[in-house]
Amino acid sequence: MIDYAATKGAIVSFTRSLALQLTPKGIRVNAVSPGAVYTPIQADTREAPQMVNWGSTSKLGRPAQPSEVASSFIFLASTESALFRK
């Protein structure tokens, strides 16, 4: 998971840098980094006992499902999200 975590951090930094360069040109750049989301990679990289409480410290008290995160991607790709710039 170290490689996954490092890559996730790099993507966030890359997105911020890209946004600084492209926002003045009217190009929006976004990233979604939701935290604990239940995907096959989670179950494949953890033993079953570790999965029992995985994500329980999130604000939801459980890991999110991919379908719960999908609407964020749709919103950020839409013109309705033009207000949300960093």
Active site residues: 4
The Cα 80–Cα 77 span in angstroms is 8
The closest alpha carbon to 11, from 26, 30, 35, belongs to 30
What length is written for the chain?
86
